[in-house]
Amino acid sequence: MAQPEAQPRTHAAAKREFTPAEIGAIAHLYRGEVYRSTIWRTRLDTTTNWSVVTLGVALSIAFSSPGASELPLLLVGVLIGLFMVLEARRYRYFNVWRARARWMETHFYAPMLDDGDLHTEENWQKTLAKDYWRPEYHVSMSRAMGRRIRRNYLWILSIQFLAYLGKLIVHPVPAGSIGDVIARAAIGPAPGWAVLGFGLCYLGSWLALAEWVRRKDASSARKKGGGRSLG
């Protein structure tokens, strides 16, 4: 006698139904991840504030008098770069907690609210469990820096560069030509064109990194679809 064909497993049958105790534990876990992401988000604001304050101090010193040096506006770029690296490092930590909270929102809470029952997406918890067993960053350092540049540091660096050019143009007296501006930019043995060229390359490299990361993020978003990665 022919054996009956096995019935295909429906998607609903493969879904995981949690007990009330498990749902309560997941709710507490979600609250904990949201709290940690909030704390690290606050730390991102701290490094941005440091950059803004340092740039403000440099602007105050450089524009305090016509004879004041423009060097503080150049040196502050080193501090801003340091703060940018620190903020990118903090962003990588923040992204771990944010990704976990978002994963629970999209694969546990959203299906529950949409379906009106306790069914959730199939095997979503396995991806989350793997991330708890072996925690890792979800973005690279360069990607984190590109995102922070696009969000905050693009404007800080642009203000720094424009303020430096403004200082060269108006102090100690208004410049009469572009040649005067270039001559004033000279620092010791370094000619003015080299100093200005370095500044343009410095700003351009950060802009290029931000644009590269933006395109990479857009490409990842298009490919994500049904991906099983938290990041």
Give the tokens for residue 22.
Answer: 């498990």
Provide CB contacts within 8 A for 29, sequence distance 6+. Answer: 104
The pLDDT-based confidence of 113 (bands split at 50, 70, 90) is confident
pTM, two decimals, is 0.79
Contact 128, 105 (CB under 8 A): no
pLDDT of 98 over the 70 cut:
yes
Query: What pLDDT, on a 0 to 100 scale, did the predictor assign at position 193?
Result: 93
pLDDT, tens digit (0-9, with 9 covering 90-100), for 122-168? 678 888 888 899 888 989 999 999 999 999 999 999 999 999 999 99
Cα–Cα distance between 146 and 143 in angstroms, integer?
5
The answer on pLDDT for 12 being more than 60 is: no
Q: For residues 51 and 83, give the distance between their C-alpha atoms in angstroms, rounded to a whole number.
A: 6
Residue 28 has pLDDT above 50, yes or no: yes
* Apex 217 CA angle, 213 and 220, nearest 5: 135
Please report, rounded to a whole number, the percentage of residues in the chain having pLDDT higher than 70: 87
Give the integer Cα–Cα distance in Å for 25 and 144.
31
Above pLDDT 90, what percent of the chain?
54
pLDDT of residue 13: 42
How would residue 116 be classed by pLDDT, with cut points 50, 70 and 90?
low
* d(C-alpha 32, C-alpha 101), whole Å: 9
* Mean pLDDT, range 186-206, rounded to an integer: 92
Mean pLDDT, residues 101-117: 80
Report whether 153 contacts 84 (CB < 8 A): yes
pLDDT, mean over the chain: 85
Burial readout 71-84 (b: 16 or more C-beta within 10 A, e: otherwise): ebbbebbeebbebb
pLDDT greater than 80 at residue 170? yes
Q: What is the pLDDT, as a whole number, of residue 117?
A: 59
Average pLDDT over residues 45-67: 93
- Residues 77/79/85/91 CA torsion (nearest 10 deg): -110
Q: Identify residue 220 by its one-letter amino acid code.
A: S
